[in-house]
């Protein structure tokens, strides 16, 4: 004896438990994830505007009722912090432009030209990408000393470019491989040389990839600490991470938590503004090629 089930029952309809999970559990999980990621940033921001009594209070004052901008004023009065931001901007922009200027043509060559030993070249680039930059420290230190590049912007620009170049080549190569060759063939028929075609036809089509790769390179150069600490010793040429780490109190036993938090906030604001300004391009660059057709 068989039991007939009504055909009107939709077996694909979500159950009551699934509906509860979508309406309650999923938003809670998303909220907890956002709080977990933003909590350190919020803590630094609140610390930068707390009065010293609330910073040193036990138990901790998480959400203060008294606010002050004294830590920011103290930061600029004691140190030339605008000069530090300027130094970081010069080094980061220069290394990013160099990495894109050298990496994009190299990536195009690896994507379109039939090179001998292409697999060996790609494997070498991949290995260099996975290589920890700190292991290059002593070799770079000897090069900087030999070329007398200490206390020079080139002492940071050249290593940052070299470290970020392999990642730039790998990312840009994957984008070049996704471009249709018909456009390049049509450009050659119209008399475009390879450099002109790369500048006027190919690169504009990969603008999201250029923006995404450039921002990753910029952030890496902006946040780097070890090389900037060692290769630059002049006070007026230090970068933001080094200057923030070297803030001291009125005595050797005092830790200026407020100015350090203010320096952290000021050092992060340019990166946040950069990402927000290019947000749409970044999303396009990260999702390009995910869906075909």
**Do residues 68 and 51 lie in contact, with contact meaning Cβ atoms separated by under 8 Å?**
yes
pLDDT of 28-56, one tens digit each? 888 889 889 888 888 888 888 888 888 88
Q: How does pLDDT run along the chain (293 residues), one tens digit per residue? A: 455 545 444 555 555 556 666 778 888 888 889 889 888 888 888 888 888 888 888 888 888 888 888 888 888 887 888 899 999 999 999 999 999 999 998 998 888 887 787 888 888 888 888 888 888 888 888 888 888 988 899 999 999 999 999 989 988 888 888 888 887 888 888 887 878 888 888 888 888 888 888 998 999 999 999 999 999 989 889 999 998 888 866 556 667 888 888 888 988 888 888 888 877 776 666 565 444 44
116: CB partners within 8 A, 6+ apart: none
**CA 33 to chain CA centroid, nearest Å:** 20
pLDDT of 203-231, one tens digit each? 888 888 888 889 989 999 999 999 999 99
- CATH for 72-287 is 1.10.3720.10
For the chain, the structural domain boundaries read 17-68, 72-287
């Amino acid at each position: 004896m068989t039991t007939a089930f009504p055909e009107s029952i939709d077996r694909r309809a979500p159950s009551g438990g699934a509906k509860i999970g979508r309406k309650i559990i999923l938003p809670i999980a998303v909220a907890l994830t956002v709080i977990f990621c933003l909590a350190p940033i919020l803590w630094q921001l609140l610390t930068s505007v707390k009065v010293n009594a609330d910073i040193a209070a036990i138990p901790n004052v998480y959400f203060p009722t008294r606010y002050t901008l004294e830590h920011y004023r103290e930061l600029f009065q004691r140190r030339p912090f605008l000069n530090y931001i300027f130094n970081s901007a010069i080094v980061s922009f220069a290394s990013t432009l160099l990495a894109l200027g050298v990496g994009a043509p190299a990536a195009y060559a690896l994507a379109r030209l039939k090179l001998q030993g292409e697999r060996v070249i790609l494997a070498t680039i991949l290995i260099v990408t996975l290589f920890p930059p700190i292991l290059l420290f002593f070799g770079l230190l000897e090069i900087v000393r030999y070329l007398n590049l200490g206390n020079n912007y080139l002492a940071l620009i050249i290593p940052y470019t070299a470290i970020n170049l392999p990642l730039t080549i790998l990312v840009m190569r994957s984008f070049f491989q996704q471009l249709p060759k018909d456009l390049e063939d049509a450009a050659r028929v119209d008399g475009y040389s390879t450099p002109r075609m790369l500048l006027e036809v190919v690169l504009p089509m990969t603008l999201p990839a250029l923006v995404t790769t450039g921002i990753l390179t910029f952030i890496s150069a902006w946040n780097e600490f070890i090389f900037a600490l060692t290769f630059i010793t002049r006070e007026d040429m230090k970068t933001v991470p080094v200057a923030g780490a070297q803030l001291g109190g009125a005595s050797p036993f005092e830790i200026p938590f407020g100015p350090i938090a203010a320096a952290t906030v000021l050092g992060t604001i340019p990166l946040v503004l950069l990402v927000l300004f290019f947000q749409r391009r970044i999303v396009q660059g990260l999702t390009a090629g995910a869906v075909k057709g």
